[in-house]
Homo-oligomer: A and B are copies of this chain.
Amino acid sequence: MPETVKSPTKARLYEAFATTGKALASGKRLELLDLLAQGERTVDALAKAAGLNLTTASAHLQTLKQAGLVTTRREGVRIHYQLAGDDVAQLFALLRKVAETHLPAVEPARAAYLGEDGGQEVSREQLLAHVEAGDVVVLDVRPLEEYAAGHIPGAISIPVDELAERIDDLPDGVEVVTYCRGEYCVLAHDAVRMLTSRGRRAIRLNDGMLEWRLADLPIAAGTDA
């Protein structure tokens, strides 16, 4: 029964696969991937958005780069990081889904982060139907740069930071459907709470731009809105 083969070349191959696994083995790196799934960013912007010091962020990005999950583009003095491909976004999304399905610790952490929601959700299909019918306004509450890098066609942009002061930019009398980065993004949750507390009818897309992209739905770019 020579099932006990130790093959160094097999180990080498699987260690290579594990390089990709290791890249996914840090919460901070996953936060960085989450941000990058919205569009390219500079090291400095990523560090700030993820609450990391520049050196640490750079080190994590090197790890991701060596695992081939991200690529870089130099523009003058700054370097833009971006995801290496759709398959990377897919892997990231699947990792989160598997974690949520099989890890009991995820659900409480998710609830604590996103808050009690009560607020209703709407699926991508339902949202598309509403847009077709023209009976809702779609609101993108991500930072402007992410909106510019790609958003749901017809959506208007009001970053959640500015929502309180710009609430009157929203067309009157029509229901608001908010969305943000993805299923675990807090921005749309915050926006819905904020809007409903001001008496606006507001609901949430049940995921966000990440899943929208992976579903190959149409995407608009720029800030012409």
List the B side residues contacting A103 at CB < 8 Å.
16, 19-20, 67-68
Question: Is B113 in contact with A13, judged by CB distance below 8 angstroms?
Answer: yes
Is the CB–CB distance between A10 and B87 below 8 Å? no
Task: Pick from B13, B27, B87: contact of A17, CB below 8 A.
Answer: B27
**Contact mask A140-173 → B, CB, 8 Å, 1/0?**
0001000000000000000001000000000000
Q: Interface readout for A86-124 with B: 1 if CB under 8 Å, 0 if not? A: 011011001111110111111001101100000000000
Specify the main secondary structure of chain A where it touches its partner. helix
**How many angstroms from the CA of A20 to the CA of B98 in the assembled complex?**
8
A16 and B109 contact, Cβ closer than 8 Å, known pairs A48-B4, A91-B94:
yes
CB distance B143 to A12 under 8 Å?
A: no
Cross-chain contact B106 with A17 (CB below 8 angstroms): yes
Contact residues on A (Cβ < 8 Å of other chain), bracket: 35 or more
Contacts of A15 in B (CB 8 A): 27, 109
Report how far A31 CA is from B26 CA in the complex, Å: 21
| Residue picked from A45, A98, A105, most chain B C-beta under 10 Å | A98
Contact B10 A21 (CB under 8 A): no
With a CB–CB cut-off of 8 A, which chain B residues contact A95?
A: 17, 20-21, 91
Q: Are B143 and A184 in contact (CB under 8 A)?
A: no
**Least distance between A101 CB and chain B CB atoms (Å):** 6
Provide the bound-state CA to CA distance between A88 and B12, in Å: 22
The reply to whether A99 and B19 form a contact with Cβ atoms under 8 Å apart is yes
Judged by a CB distance under 8 angstroms, whether A51 is at the interface is yes
Q: How far is the CB of A222 from chain B (nearest CB, A)?
A: 21
Contact with B along A182-208 (1 / 0, CB 8 A): 001010000000000000000000000
Question: 1/0 per residue A60-86: CB within 8 Å of B?
Answer: 000000011100000000000000110
Q: Provide the residues of chain B in CB contact with A22, threshold 8 Å.
A: 25
Q: Are A51 and B87 in contact (CB under 8 A)?
A: no
**A residues engaging B (CB < 8 A)?**
2-7, 9-31, 34, 45, 48-49, 51, 67-69, 84-85, 87-88, 90-91, 94-99, 101-106, 109-110, 112-113, 143, 161, 184, 186
